[in-house]
Every structure is written in C-alpha cells, then in structure tokens.
Amino acid sequence: MKLYTKTGDGGTTGLYGADRVSKANIRVEAYGTVDELNSAIGLARAHGPSQEMDADLEYLQNALFDVGADLATRSGTTYEKKINRMDEQDVTFIEAMIDRYQESAPPFTGFVHPGGTPVAASLHVARTVARRAEREVIRLLHEEDANAHVQVYLNRLSDLLFVMARAANQAAGIGEHAWLVKGRR
C-alpha cells in the first residue's frame, strides 16, 4: 500500500466512516490539533524524562489516539462501535495522575515562566497545544454533535502537563521563576 493516495489533493479528507469534508473543517482542525499535541508529547519523551514519567507520557499518547478517533467519528455511524469514546473514567484517571504529580511538584503559588529542563519546557509547549486543542473542541461542540467528555479530558490534560513540567523541574533541582507583575522594568 502506498502512503500517498492523492484523495486529499482537492483539499478534502475522510472522516472515520468515509464522509469527506474540507481539510479546514472544524472537526479536522480539532483532531489535527490533538495530533499536534501527541507529537509535542513525543518531543518531551525524546528529551529523556524519568522512567515513570515516560510510561505516563506513553499512556497519554495512546489515549490521544483514542481522542483523535473520537473526534474523527461522527455519532451514530456504524464505525462508532469500533472506537473507544472518551468518558468520565478517562477524566478521573487524569485527575488521579494530577494528584500523584502534584505531590512531586513544589506548592503552587501562582503563574511561573514556562521553561527549565528540556523535558519540562517541552511539557509546557505540549500544555499550550492541549489548551488550543480544547478551544478547537469547544468550537466543534458549538457547531456539531461531538463528545463533550473530550473537552473536559483536554482541560484536565493541560493541567496534568503543567504539573508534570513542574515535577520534572523539581526532580532536576531547577527552580521556577514566578511571574512578576509589572516586573519588566
């Protein structure tokens, strides 16, 4: 099988279920941004996080493939039974991960500058992509029927990536730089 099919040369792509839509369709924007998020997490993994964090990031990458499939599959299609829709259990699992990493991070006192180790800096970038993916899903939910649990999941995921970045810096002995209001002078 060839990687290129030429079916998208006209600016359309296929959703899971054979519907063809514009590559600029809000649903495609949403799952495309989730794909970008998955790649950003891959970059964080390439920087060599701890073994435990790497395993958690791999879990998240697999979950994000489920998120993408969820977004790429319209409700009510016969293909829906072939995917795993995100649900409350997925959100609860992320919340437990947040609590676990919160124990390894310094106490939260306010906004901090993104950065630190390459792992932490990459996780901060991934966090911002997660926020953008969440905004795209919100736009989708305003225009079409989609799984609202995806939006909540992405919201929690951005929180998780934030606390993971803070925990990675803490483990490396890297201090955080707090936002200094009007501190540009």
Maximum pairwise Cα distance, the chain: 60
Name the token pair of 43.
């970059």
Contacts for 91 with CB less than 8 Å, ≥ 6 apart: 149, 152, 153, 156
Residue 134 has pLDDT above 90, yes or no: yes
Task: Give the percent of the chain with pLDDT over 90.
Answer: 74
Is the model's pLDDT at 184 over the cut of 80? no
Q: Which of 85, 58, 66, 56 is nearest to 145 (CA)?
A: 85
More confident residue, 143 or 77: 143
Which residues fall within 8 angstroms of residue 62, CB to CB, at 6 or more apart? none
Q: What are phi and psi of 98, to 5 degrees?
A: -60, -50
Q: Could you tell me the pLDDT band of residue 33, with boundaries at 50, 70 and 90?
A: very high
Q: Is the pTM of this model over 0.75?
A: yes
- pLDDT given at position 24: 82
pLDDT in the model for residue 11: 85
Q: If DSSP codes are grouped into helix, strand and coil, which group holds residue 112?
A: strand
Tell me if 137 sits within 8 A of 129, measured CB to CB: no
Mean pLDDT confidence for 28-57? 98
Q: What is the rounded end-to-end Cα distance, in angstroms, of the chain?
A: 60
The structure tokens listed for 79 are 């293909």
The three-state secondary structure class of 160 is helix
pLDDT, averaged across the chain:
93
Query: Where is average pLDDT lowest: 56-60, 76-80, 96-100?
Result: 76-80
Q: How far is CA 102 from the centre of its chain?
A: 19
Residue 171 or residue 8, greater confidence: 171
